[in-house]
């Protein structure tokens, strides 16, 4: 690993040049916090094409890349996360690993242990936590008492992910958001699902009850001919409607407002709807900026390895419950 320069600009490399890896390269190439050094992919032509696009280096091996950077973005298939992330940590690189952190809790713990042993920071790519609509919702919830959640994350079948179920591929985004809000241990899980295009769950519905009394319904699909990303949160004195895609947040509240206009016609309003202003911020850019800030200041990472493993544990409980459905 090379030493960061005096301006605190971090040398970064991207391992994996698939769809998500290309998004990492696009965003990193425009950020002042990072010096994008290069990329690696097992398909050399893919790395060469991206290197040419951004004027960076296409590395011949992962080891060669890790020897040249301060931060490694692991954007490889999920089943490789453990080995690649540990190799990066052992090289002294800070690690951003795309979600899921790994495919098993044991592998997730191994990544966390390696980063701790080598005194490097770890961030898990739960990018929805940096969606401005989620950030705005979190600010609303500071003055509310959430009771129940209803998440829907639906997509058509693309066949892009074959090593993870729809729970680890899609639902995990909402699980991470849910965990950050509920902040409680899980008491009970019920689930059911369908395996249609793969040998893993392609559609799943889950009910989760937490020890603190909060409950949640989560539906994830990669067989739905529409792209849907919504959440509804029932609070003691409000109902919050969130659209991840449109980045829209609406808060409904009960009111007893009446208007007496001085004649027979009177006006009554039973509820009000607040439309929260949501800034136009790219979540991936916000995530990368947050990680750079945490590296240089030592502040806690919001989507830490522990949070990534917590999400993975709930994924496993949901998958087990779905597998045991009668």
pLDDT in tens, 98-116: 999 999 999 999 999 999 9
CB 1 within 8 A of CB 295: no
- Predicted local confidence at residue 27, as pLDDT: 98
Q: Which of 1, 20, 2, 5 is nearest to 288 (CA)?
A: 20
* Tens digit of each residue's pLDDT (9 = 90 or more) over 31-75: 999 999 999 999 999 999 999 999 999 999 999 999 999 999 999
Q: How confident is the model at residue 87 (pLDDT cuts 50, 70, 90)?
A: very high
Q: Picking from 51-65, 141-155, 256-270, which range would have the lowest pLDDT averaged per residue? A: 256-270
Mean pLDDT to the nearest integer, 257-281:
72
All domains of the chain in start order, with CATH: 10-120 (3.40.50.720), 129-281+311-323 (3.30.360.10)
Question: What are the strands of the beta sheet with 239-243, ordered from one edge?
Answer: 186-194, 203-210, 215-221, 146-154, 228-235, 239-243, 248-260, 266-276
CB 24 within 8 A of CB 75: yes
């Amino acid at each position: 690993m090379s030493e960061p320069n005096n301006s605190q600009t971090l040398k970064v490399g991207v391992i994996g040049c698939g769809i998500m890896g290309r998004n990492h390269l696009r965003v990193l190439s425009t950020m002042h916090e990072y010096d994008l050094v290069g990329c690696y992919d097992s398909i050399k032509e893919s790395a060469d094409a991206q290197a040419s696009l951004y004027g960076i280096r296409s590395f011949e091996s992962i080891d060669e890349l890790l020897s040249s950077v301060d931060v490694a973005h692991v954007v490889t298939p999920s089943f490789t996360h453990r080995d690649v992330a540990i190799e990066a940590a052992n090289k002294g690189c800070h690690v951003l690993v795309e979600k899921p952190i790994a495919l098993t809790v044991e592998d997730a713990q191994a990544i966390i242990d390696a980063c701790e042993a080598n005194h490097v920071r770890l961030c898990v790519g739960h990018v929805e936590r940096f969606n401005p609509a989620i950030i705005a919702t979190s600010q609303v919830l500071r003055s509310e008492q959430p009771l129940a959640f209803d998440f829907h994350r639906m997509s058509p079948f693309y066949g892009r992910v074959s090593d993870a179920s729809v729970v680890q591929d899609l639902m995990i985004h909402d699980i991470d958001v849910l965990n950050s809000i509920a902040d409680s241990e899980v008491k009970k899980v019920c689930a059911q699902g369908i395996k249609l295009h793969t040998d893993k769950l392609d559609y799943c519905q889950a009910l989760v009850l937490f020890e603190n009394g909060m409950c949640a319904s989560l539906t994830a699909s990669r067989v739905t001919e529409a792209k849907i990303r919504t959440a509804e949160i029932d609070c003691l004195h409000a109902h919050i409607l969130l659209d991840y895609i449109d980045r829209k947040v609406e808060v409904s509240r009960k009111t007893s407002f009446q208007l007496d206009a001085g004649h027979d016609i009177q006006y009554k309003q039973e509820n009000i709807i607040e439309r929260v202003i949501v800034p136009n911020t790219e979540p991936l850019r916000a995530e990368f900026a947050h990680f750079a800030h945490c590296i240089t200041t030592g502040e806690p990472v919001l989507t830490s390895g522990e949070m990534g493993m917590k999400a993975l544990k709930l994924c496993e409980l949901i998958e087990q419950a779905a597998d045991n459905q009668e």
